[in-house]
Structure 1
Amino acid sequence: METASPDGDPVPLTGFSDAQRQAAIERWRLLRPHLDDDVPLSQLATSCGVAERTLRRWRAAYQSGGLAALVRRPRADRGRARMPEPLRLLIEGLALRPPRRSIAVIHRQAASVATTRGWPVPGYSTVHEIVRNLDPALRTLALDGTKRYREVYELVHRREASKPNQIWQADHTELDLWVIDPKGRPARPWLTAIEDDHSRAIAGYAVNLEAPSALSTALAFRQAIWRKSEPAWHVCGIPEVFHLDHGSDFTSSHLEQVMADLRVRPMFSKKGQPHGHGKIERFMETMNEMCLAHLPGYAPKGSKDRAAQATLTLAELDTAIGRFIREVYNLRPHSETKVPPQARWEAGAFIPRMPDSLEQLDLLLCTVAKPREVHTDGIQFLALRYIDPVLADYVGEQVTIRYDPRDITEIRVYLRHPDGTGDTFLCRAICPHLSGETVSLKEITAARNARRKQLRGRLATRAIVVDTLLALHDEPLPAAYLASTGLRRWSTSNQGAPATTHDTDETPTPGDGPRLKRYW
C-alpha cells in the first residue's frame, strides 16, 4: 500500500528505511488487538502505555493509508533552527564570506543584528548547527576559490585507453632526494616519466639536474619508443596519442615537430586543469614511497639538513630508478587493474609501430631544425661560423640545419626543396673554433652571459666616474671661498685666457684664509 508524501505524492512502503518500516510494524502490532478483536482503545491505552488520543490517530492513519501511513516522518524543518529566514541567511552569508570567520565571531554579529531588529537572539549551538549544515562544496567555492573547488568537487572525465600504445602520458617531478652534481655540490634532480595509459607500464624515463625542458622530454621519449637493451623490458613503439599539459617543455616547437614527423596526435589538458594526469602522478607517488625512501639522500620536506644527506651521483640514481621500474613496478600487480603492467601491455599480442631506424629517431628527437642560408664564408649560427667543402656548390641556397643542443661543435645541413618534397642531406658542417671539443649550447650561453655581465660592470664603473666628475665640475663654489683664496675662473670659451676675478665687497687681508694659494 502507499501513502501520500507531504507534497501530495504517494510514497510506497519500500521508499522508507528499514528502521521506519520496523517502527510502523510496531505501531500496527499495538493496534492489532483493537482492529482484530475489538478491544476498546481506552483499555488498550492502559495496557500498552500509549495515550488513547495517539491510538485514535494511528487507527485513522492506518484505515486511510495502510501500513505506510504509520511510518513516522521526520519534521520538514528538522536540522533547521526556528528563526526568521533573513537571520538564517545572514548567518550563512557570514560563514561563506572570506576571510574565514570563527563560530564565535559569527554568533556575536548575528546576535547584534537580531537585537537591533527585534528578532530572537540565536544561541551559540544554533549558529554552530547552521554553519555545520552548509554544503561543503559551497563552503569550498566561497572560501577556497574556484581552483580548489575544481580539484575537489568538479566532475572529471577520465580517459581510459582500450589497448596498449593508444595513449601515453608524460609528467615531471622534482625528487625528494639529493645527489652530488659533477662539481661536488648537492642538488635535487628532476624525473621525467612516460607511462602507457592502458597497462600502466612505464615506457621510458630520464633523470636530469636541470629543470624540465624540451630536450629532457625528447630523451625520455626516445627511450620509450625504441627497443630496450634490457631483455625484460618490452614496452616500446610509437603511441597514437601523447597526453600532455601546457608546460613550455611540452608545447615547444621542437616537440611539436617531432610528433608531426612520427604521426603522433598531441592531446593537451586544459590550462590550469591538469586533470587526467592522475595515473602518472600515482606512479610518482609510488616511486617516492617504494624506491626513493630506501636510497641514501632521501629527504622529504621538513627534514633537517636536507642537502647534507646527498651521497649518490646522478648516474647511480639513474641506475636505481631503472632497476625499480624493470624489476618491481612493471612486474608488480597494479592496484587498479590487478594485473602487472608489463603483462597487461604484452596481453594485447600486437606489433608496435616503430621508426625506420634509431638514427632517424635521434635525428628527430635529439636535434633542433632551423632554416638558414649558405653564405660565401659558410653558415652563420649562434654567432659562430660553420663550414664544409660541400657548401661551396650551394652558396645563396636556403638550407635547413639540425643541431644537438648538447654538442654544437657541428651541425647537419639539409637542402630545402621549394616544392616541399622533403630535405636532402648535404653534409656535416663544423665550426673551426670548436673543432676537437664538445661544447653544449648551455655552456655557450653561460659564457656569453658572463662576458656580457663583465662588460656591463665595466660600463657601470665608468658611468659612475663620469657622473661624479661632471657633477663636481658644474657645482658652483661658495663666494666666501673664492674671496678668501683670490681664485680666478678660466673661461673655456676664451681658449685659456684668464677671466676677470669675481667682484667681492671685502678685500682679502694677509691674515684671512690659508697662505697657500689654491686653484680650481
Structure 2
Amino acid sequence: MENRVVKKRGEIKRIEIDRSSVPLSVGSFVKSGEATYQIVYVVNLSNVIGRNTSSSEEEVLKIDSLEPVPEPSAASGVGTNEELVLIENAYWEKANKRFEAIRPLTDKPNRSRKDVVLRAQSLKMDPSTLYRWLTRYERFGTVLALVPKKRGWKKGASRISPEVEHIIKGVIEDYYLTSERHSTAKAIREVELRCRAKKIEPPSHMTVRLRIDQISERKKLQKRGFSEKARNKFAAVPGTFPNATFPLAVVEIDHHLMDIQLVSDDLRLPIGRPWLTLSIDVFSRMVTGWLLSMDSPSEYAVGQCIATSILPKEKLLEALGVEADWPVWGKPKTIHADNGSDFRSTSFMRSCENYGINLEFRPLKRPHYGGHVERFFRTLAQNVESLPGRTGSKHTSKGDDDPEKNASMTRTEFERWVIDFICNQYHLSRHSELGVPPFMQWKFGIFGGKNQPPLGMQNRISDSQTLRLDFYPSVYRVVKRTGVSLNNVTYYHEVLDPFINQTDPKGKEKIKSLFRYDIADISHIWFYCEKTRKYIQIPSLPKIKHGTSLAEYDRSRKELAAEADSHDFVEKIDLSVERNRRLVEDSQAKKKSARIEQQKSVDRKKSVVRRTVMAPISAPVGASKTAGSHFVDDSLVEPPEDVR
C-alpha cells in the first residue's frame, strides 16, 4: 500500500498524503490482493474471515495483508490529504465541533440506530447529518475528514503570525489561568488590547476561544485556584487510573536515559547512553510504542513514539529481526504526558487533535500519574544491568568499573534486545497488579473476558509514511537562492526554484514555505507543495549520508572543531596568520615603493619639460646634442603650448 503512494522523479520522492485506514469490524469491506471482501467474522488478532463479493466464497484473511477499499469520496479532493498546520483555525474549529458531536458514538463499538437518533435529538440535529459525519470519520479516522468542503486553507499572509500566537499564549498563561479567574470574554478582550498596543491585527474571538477550549479541565482547575478540587477529581492511586477501562483508553508516555554505554556501528567506539521514549497502555500494561535515540528528548521523539504506537508492528519487527507477536495498533483516546515543551508545540498538538487523541498533561508533584511507564522503566533497568557497558542507576546495582571500555552493543543491537525483551518476556509474564500477562489482558479487552465487554479491533492505518509525516516537527522557511537552511544544513533541489524569494500579493513580505524534518535522518527534508498537496523530498547540499542522525552530524562537527583547536592545527593557523600578515606588509611596502617610483617618474618628466622651455629655439650649426647640453631631442619631448 505504501509503495502506491510514493512517487519518484529521478532521485526525488514525492509522497501523496493518504490518511485512509483499514476497517476491521464485522460488515466492513476491505481489499486483499485484487479481490474485495466483506468481513463476516474476526478470528483473532491476526486473522479475519471475509466473504468474496464476487464469488461469495469465505476465506481466512491475514489482517496485515488487508487494504482499504477505494471510495469516490477519497479521491474527490474533499480535504483529507491536506497539510494539518495550513488549515484556517475557524475551519479547524468547525471540524472539532463536529467531532465532539459524534465522539460519544465513536466510543460505542456496538451502537444502534437508536443511539444515533438520541444523540441527534439532544443536539437538535438531523440524524442523517450525524451518520454522514460518522461515516467520514470512521472511513479516515481523522478529524480532518470533518473539515467543511469549502476549504478554509490559509493563503500566505492570512496565516496567524507567530507574534499573534505568542500574545494569545501569554494571555492564557498570565491572565486567564490565574487565581483571578477572568472570563473567556475578558481574555479575548485582553488579546485584542495587546495586539493593538503592538499595532497587530487581532485574531477572531473564535480563535482565542478555541485555544482556551483546548485547555484540559484539570489544568483550568489547578491554575485558577481549585487545586484541591482538581486533586480530588483527577488524582490516581497505585493500581488504578481514571477511565482506563479498555485498551488504549489511556496511554502514558515518557522518556528515560538508559543505563548503558553503546558503541558506533563502524569502529565500535563509545558513543554514549541512549534515550528511550516509550508509551504504555494503562489498561493492559502493553507497550504500544517506542523510540530509541541518541538524541535528547524532543518533539520529534514524542511524535515518532506515538506514530509507532498507532501503527502495526509487523514490518518493524521484521526490520529488527525479532520473532514475536505484537498485535497492538490503534489511536489512543487519551495520552498522559509530562509538562515538557516537547509535548506543547502547535504542530504536535494539532496532529493529536486530527487523530482524535486527547492530550493531557500530568499535574506537577503528583507521582501517581506516569507511574505505570515509570514502573516499566525500573523493570527494564533491572535487566539492563546484565549487559556489557552497563552504567548502573539508583534502581540497579553498580555498573561496570569502566562502562566505556566494556561497552560492545550498537544502538541497533540494543534496540533489538529491548524489543525482544518487551515482546517475549515482559508481555508474556504475569503482571502482579493485573494477575495475568499484559498480552492476555489486551486480548480480554479486544474480545471480552473476565467480565470485560468486547471492544473489537480498531482500524489499521494504511499508509505509515503519512502518519509519520504528520508527527514530524514542522518549520517555516523562506526559500532563498542558496536553498533552505535547517539545523546548520543546507537543502536544495530545482523543484524549489519557483518558490525562491516569493512575496505576498502586495509584494511586502516574503512567503515562508512549510517543511517537515526527521532528526533521525537529516540527509533530506520534506517540502509541502500546497498546489499539488504532496510532500517532496529535498536533499542536503553537500550530500549527507542516508541515515545520518542530527546527533551524529553534530558530534562530527564538534570533533572537527576539536581537531581544529588541537596544537598542530593551532600552530598551522598561527603560521598562516603570520605569513598572511607578512604578505600584506610586503604588498603595502611594494605599493608604497611603486608610488615613490611613479612620483619620481613624474618629477623627471616635469624637469625635462622645464629644461625644454628654458632652452633656445634652435641650436648653433654644428652643435652636438649631448646629454650635458641644453639641447634636447624634440622627438622625445613635446614643446609647451606657448612655444608651438
| Cα distance between partner residues in 2 of 1:385 and 1:208 | 23
Match of 1:357 among 460, 463, 468: 463
Residue in structure 1 matched with residue 425 of structure 2 by the alignment: 328
Counting only pairs closer than 5 Å after superposition, residues 271-286 of structure 1 correspond to structure 2 as: 271-286=364-379
* Aligned positions of 1:13-52 closer than 5 A: none
Other structure's SS at 1:408 match: coil
Matched-pair contact (CA < 8 Å) for 2:299–2:345: yes
Query: What is the aligned partner in structure 1 of residue 533 from structure 2?
Result: 424
- The within-5 A match list for 1:22-101 is none
Against the structure 1 CA distance between its residues 370 and 186, is the aligned structure 2 distance closer, same or farther, given a 3 Å change threshold? closer
Q: How does 1:214-363 map to 2 (within 5 A)?
A: 214-229=299-314, 230=317, 232-253=325-346, 255-289=348-382, 291-298=383-390, 299=392, 300-303=396-399, 305-307=401-403, 308-349=405-446, 350-363=456-469
Equivalent position SS for 2:288: strand
One-letter amino acid of the structure 2 residue matched with residue 429 of structure 1: I
**Cα deviation per residue 1:415-442 (whole Å; 9 max; x = unaligned)?**
348xxxxx82263333442266665434
The separation in 1 between residues aligned to 2:468 and 2:353, in whole angstroms, is 15
| Mapping of residues 99-110 of structure 1, within 5 Å | none
**Counterpart mapping for 1:379-394 below 5 A:** 379-382=484-487, 385-394=490-499
**Aligned AA for 1:176?**
D
Q: State the partner residue of 1:185.
A: 270
Does structure 2 conserve the Cα–Cα contact (< 8 Å) formed by 1:169 and 1:280? yes
Kept in 1, the 8 Å contact 2:294–2:551? The answer is: no
Q: Decide whether aligned partners of structure 1 residues 359 and 278 sit closer, same or farther in structure 2, where only a CA change above 3 A counts.
A: same
Structure 2 CA distance for aligned equivalents of residues 372 and 212 of structure 1? 24
Partners of 2:554 and 2:418 lie apart in 1 by 31
Kindly indicate whether the alpha-carbon contact (under 8 Å) linking 1:406 and 1:440 is maintained by their aligned counterparts in 2. yes
Please show how residues 430-445 of structure 1 align to structure 2 within 5 Å.
430-434=539-543, 439-445=548-554
- Quote the Cα distance in structure 2 between the aligned partners of 1:415 and 1:247: 31
1:205–1:224 contact (8 Å) kept in structure 2: yes
Query: Residue 311 of structure 1: CA displacement?
Result: 3.7
> For residues 415 and 186 of structure 1, what CA distance do their matches in structure 2 show?
38
CA distance in 1, matches of 2:488, 2:381: 44
Which amino acid in 2 is paired with 1:389? E
Tell me the equivalent position of 2:152: none
Secondary structure in structure 1 of the residue aligned to 2:538: strand
Larger RCO of the pair (alpha carbons < 8 Å, separation 6+): 2
Deviations 1:356-397 (A, max 9, x none): 4111122123x3211223445544545655433333444415
CA drift of 1:198 comes to: 0.7
Of 226, 231, 236, the match for 1:157? 236
Tell me the distance in 2 between the aligned counterparts of 1:209 and 1:345. Answer: 31
Q: Does the CA contact (< 8 Å) of 1:246 and 1:268 recur in 2? A: yes
**SS at structure 2 position matched to 1:249:** helix
CA 1:272–1:386 in 2, change beyond 3 Å: closer, same or farther? same
2:291 aligned with 1:206: yes
The alpha-carbon distance between structure 1 residues 191 and 402, as it changes in their structure 2 partners (threshold 3 A), is closer
Q: Percent identity?
A: 25
**Do the aligned residues in 2 keep the contact of 1:407 with 1:441 (CA within 8 Å)?**
yes
Q: Paired residue for 1:172?
A: 255
Distance 1:392 1:222, change over 3 A: same
Distance across 1 between alignment mates of 2:292 and 2:282: 21
Indicate if the aligned counterparts of 2:299 and 2:473 stay in contact, CA closer than 8 A.
no
> For 2:430 and 2:294, how far apart are their aligned partners in 1?
31
Distance 1:408 1:192, change over 3 A: closer
Report the equivalent of 1:368: 473
- Greater gyration radius: 1
Alpha-carbon distance, 1:245 to partner: 0.7
Letter in 1 for 2:352: M
Q: What SS class does the counterpart of residue 434 from structure 1 fall into?
A: coil
Q: 1:168 to 1:376 in 2, by over 3 A?
A: same
Query: C-alpha displacement at 1:403, in angstroms?
Result: 2.0
CA distance, structure 2, for counterparts of residue 167 and residue 391 of structure 1: 42
Find the aligned partners of 1:240 and 1:369 in 2 and give their Cα distance: 24
Counterpart secondary structure, 2:522: strand
Structure 2 CA distance for partners of 1:267 and 1:426, relative to 1, 3 Å: closer
Q: Are the counterparts in 1 of residues 307 and 468 from structure 2 also a CA contact under 8 Å? A: yes
Per-residue deviation, residues 321-354 of structure 1 (Å, max 9, x unmatched): 2122111211222211212211211223322244
Q: How many residues align?
A: 302
SS of residue matched to 1:332: coil
- Alignment check: 8 A CA contact 2:489 2:541 kept: no
TM-score normalised to structure 2 length: 0.41
Q: 1:427 is aligned with what amino acid? A: I
Task: State yes or no: 1:415 paired with 2:494.
Answer: no
> Aligned in 2, Cα 1:247/1:312: closer, same or farther, shift over 3 Å?
same
Matched with 1:111 is none
Cα contact 1:194–1:220 (8 A) shared by 2: yes
Structure 1 SS opposite 2:445: coil
| Structure 1 residue 164: Cα displacement | 0.4
Contact 1:170 1:194 in 2 (8 A): yes
3-state secondary structure, aligned to 2:247: coil
Change (3 A) 1:337 1:178: same
- Post-superposition Cα deviations, 1:155-187, rounded to whole Å, max 9, x if no partner, equal 943424011011101122233344434452274
Deviating more after overlay: 382-391 vs 261-270: 382-391
Structure 2's unaligned 5+ residue stretches are 1-233, 318-323, 447-455, 503-510, 578-644
Q: How far 1:213 moved relative to its partner?
A: 2.9
Measure the CA separation in 1 of the matches of 2:339 and 2:369. 13
Q: How far apart are the structure 1 equivalents of 2:375 and 2:415? A: 20
Distance 1:327 1:402 in 2: 35
8 Å CA contact retained: 1:238, 1:262: yes
> What SS does structure 2 have at the residue aligned with 1:224?
helix
Q: Secondary structure at the match of 1:170?
A: strand
Deviation of 1:447 (Å): 6.0
CA offset at residue 449 of structure 1? 6.1
Residue among 384, 389, 400 paired with 2:514: 400
Amino acid at match of 1:202: V
Q: What runs of 5+ residues in structure 1 fail to find an aligned partner?
A: 1-154, 418-422, 466-520
Q: Distance in 1 between matches of 2:305 and 2:529?
A: 29
- Per-residue CA distance 1:450-509 (angstroms, 9 max, x = gap): 788869x98xx99xx9xxxxxxxxxxxxxxxxxxxxxxxxxxxxxxxxxxxxxxxxxxxx
Following the alignment from structure 2 to structure 1, what is the Cα–Cα distance between the partners of residues 258 and 339?
A: 21
